[in-house]
Amino acid sequence: MLDFRIETFLSVCRHMSFTAASEELHITQPAVSQHIRFLEKTYGCPLFLRDGKRIALTPAGKVLLRTMGSLRNDEKALVRRMQEAGSQGKTLVFGATRTIGEYAILPALSQYLKQHPDVNVQVRYGNTQMLVDLLHAGEIDFALVEGYVSLDDFDVLVDRVEPYLPVCAKGHVFQKPVSSLRDLLGERLLIREKGSGTREILEKYLSAFNLSVSDFSHYAQVENMHSIVGLLLQDCGIAFVYQAAVQDLLKEGKVKVIPISDFQMHHEFTFIWSKNSCFAQEYREICQQLHSNCQRPLDEVSVQ
């Protein structure tokens, strides 16, 4: 169990406010200040920079936050392991983004379950930001994501590199002849919610052309890739998706890749886990096994 003054420090870091930390912990604000002063005296360096009512972490404070955050997360994994000690098997808890969970992880997971019949598995689905939050909270051991994450916080293992494609229904009629990304702005864009890795990647690519999602004439925001694929099949708009989500439909000729010259993109599906975790090596070995269970050559789809 972490020292109660470390819990105070972590609360201040979450809110960047002594007042908010005191409210969360149900202690007085002077008590919060006292806890922080004790830690600064113990470690021999300031943890926060103070500018009036605003505070910011010092470099030393950032080191303490990363380390103690990982220790707190590890504590939850440790409690789970202690409670499982002497039982029939251990429990593995990991996260996957929705696109990966719906289309990419099942072959690897099925192999892992067959290889480890004594292991219980819990899979949590969410967008990239949700899974990062769950990792920081110690609710999951590791995650498989497609969005961008901070390398300061996580160790990573690239699982695969997946084509990211502009697609539409086979019989879709475009508003104008299409040869470039800007020619698609008159179309309805089918897109995931904010925080989704699939959306974040598109937004970053669009920004390189000084464009944004709002530049499309209409959009439909859906928090489920199956629904986006279903809307594609009903010719309700265009979408930018991973090949894994539409690979069978491309082979069946029900959807097609939109032939634009300035959109050639691949992106990594990546395992992540807390960099400072005492279980980091174990998580790496599990992720490596899941990775090895589902290796396949990159299947390029030609533009029709």
Q: What is the pLDDT of residues 90-139, one digit of tens each?
A: 889 999 988 888 888 888 899 999 999 989 999 999 888 889 888 887 88
Is residue 260 within 8 Å of residue 181, measured between CB atoms?
yes
% of the chain surpassing 90 pLDDT: 63
Domains and CATH numbers, the chain: 4-66 (1.10.10.10), 81-159+269-293 (3.40.190.10), 161-267 (3.40.190.10)
Structure tokens at 56: 């910011």
Taking 80 as the threshold, does the pLDDT of residue 79 lie above it?
A: yes
Residues 75 and 163: their CA atoms lie apart, in Å, by 38
49 pLDDT tier (thresholds 50, 70, 90) = very high
pLDDT digits (tens, 9 = 90+) for 229-269: 999 999 999 999 999 899 999 999 999 999 999 998 998 99
195 pLDDT tier (thresholds 50, 70, 90) = confident
Taking 60 as the threshold, does the pLDDT of residue 43 lie above it?
A: yes
Taking 50 as the threshold, does the pLDDT of residue 180 lie above it?
A: yes
191 pLDDT tier (thresholds 50, 70, 90) = very high
Query: Average pLDDT, stretch 165-171?
Result: 96
> What is residue 112's predicted lDDT score, i.e. its pLDDT?
92
pLDDT digits (tens, 9 = 90+) for 215-234: 999 999 998 889 999 999 99
3 pLDDT tier (thresholds 50, 70, 90) = confident
Mean pLDDT taken over the chain = 89
How is residue 193 annotated by DSSP?
P
Q: Which residues of 202-220 are buried (b: 16+ CB within 10 A; e: fewer)?
A: beebbeeeebeeeebeeee
Taking 90 as the threshold, does the pLDDT of residue 87 lie above it?
A: no
Residues 108 and 291: their CA atoms lie apart, in Å, by 7
Residues 6+ apart with CB under 8 A from 54: 16
Taking 60 as the threshold, does the pLDDT of residue 185 lie above it?
A: yes
> What is residue 262's predicted lDDT score, i.e. its pLDDT?
92
> What is residue 152's predicted lDDT score, i.e. its pLDDT?
80
Three-class SS state of 251: helix
For residue 258, the Cα-to-chain-centroid distance in whole angstroms is 27
> What is residue 59's predicted lDDT score, i.e. its pLDDT?
94
Residues 161 and 266: their CA atoms lie apart, in Å, by 6
> What is residue 303's predicted lDDT score, i.e. its pLDDT?
40
> Of 238 and 70, which is predicted with more confidence?
238
Entry pTM: 0.74
Structure tokens at 115: 């290889």
User: Which residue pairs from 101-106 have beta carbons closer than 8 angstroms and sit at least 24 positions apart in sequence?
Assistant: 101/125, 102/225, 102/226, 102/245, 103/225, 103/242, 103/244, 103/245, 104/160, 104/162, 104/242, 104/244, 104/269, 104/294, 105/144, 105/290, 105/294
